[in-house]
Amino acid sequence: MTLTASRVSSFRRGRRIRRSPALRRLVRETRLDPAMLVLPIFIDARLDVPAPIASLRGHMRWPVAGAVDVARQAAAAGLGGVLLFGLPEAKDEQGSGAADPRGPVPLALRSIRAQDLGLALIADVCLCEYTAHGHCGLLLPDGAIDNDATLPVLAEAARVYAAAGADVVAPSDMMDGRVEAIRRGLDGGGHGETAILSYAAKYASAFYGPFRDAADCAPQFGDRSGYQLDRANGREALLELDADAAEGADMLMVKPAGPYLDVIAAARARSALPLAAYQVSGEYASLVAASERGWVDLRSAALESLIGIARAGADFIITYFALEAAAWLSEKSR
């Protein structure tokens, strides 16, 4: 009896390695882990108790005394770090509160550092939360940004945060030359070990609305398109990444994440430095709002958005989903 050979298929049967959860897990190319997630935290010097942020469901402005509580939550969830933003007791035209050693961010950093929670402590460096006008730099008489006069103020704020215990300072202002100024200030101030995470490609995005509510930092006039990137430009972002790397940045960031996955991928291909992406407040709020209307499943959509950011090339992700995503990922691993 002659056996007839089975006809050999001429097409690839990709379904063979997708047909069961175990096989899909085995060959998964991109994997999320809580340790690659960073939680933004808002520290408000005017508060005695946490205050909900209406546009960021589940998030609070925290009093300085509460910073340790939320940091403990982050550590217990296995997160990689926290990113601190400060709201001062009072603002002025010079944003002088940004470099106040008794300001909300330095006080919170000292409290968290004393707990030895194993988190990377990152301090945002910008003037927008501290200036009465809401812009990220000092102003000239005509209302334009005075780029060069802003640099020493940013450098001093970074030095203060480093002295308070920040592992990383993260300039988000988009002033030209700020990475070099901060690096010189840190090195000259005895903080040569403090790393710089540069918001290198930060776009003038429509997705920042809830953050400006949370940080009380909306510009009082005009907008930030004169110093943040034009949302239509990709090659310009690569120039900014190159410049900040040359000035001494230890890590680079693309912000926002979701609308700029192509920029994340291009940055990953261009640089060997660790790459962060910031899934911003509007991205978070949009998914939350859609889930509240029953249009998407929040858990599935949030994790899909995060895996897309990681697949594009981000080594770590700053996201308001950090605590929730860590819990979801822990459940999936059981």
Out of 59, 61, 224, 255, pick the active-site residue: 255
At residue 57, the 3 state secondary structure works out as coil
Radius of gyration of the chain (CA): 22
Helix (H) or strand (E) holding 71: helix 67-76
Residue for token pair 């209307």: 293
Known catalytic residue at 202 = yes
Out of 91, 135, 183, 202, pick the active-site residue: 202
121: phi then psi, degrees, rounded to nearest 5: -100, 115
Known catalytic residue at 91 = no
Per-residue pLDDT 10s for the chain (334 aa) are 455 555 666 888 888 888 888 888 888 888 999 999 999 999 999 999 999 999 999 999 999 999 999 999 999 999 999 999 999 999 998 889 999 999 999 999 999 999 999 999 999 999 989 998 889 889 999 989 999 999 999 999 999 999 999 999 999 999 999 999 999 999 999 999 999 999 999 999 999 988 888 777 787 877 888 889 999 999 999 999 999 999 999 999 999 999 999 999 999 999 999 999 999 999 999 999 999 999 999 999 999 999 999 999 999 999 999 999 999 998 865 4
Model pTM?
0.93
Q: Name beta bridge partners: 185.
A: none
Give the right CATH number for 32-332 from 3.40.50.620, 3.20.20.70, 3.40.30.10, 3.40.630.30: 3.20.20.70
At residue 160, the 3 state secondary structure works out as helix
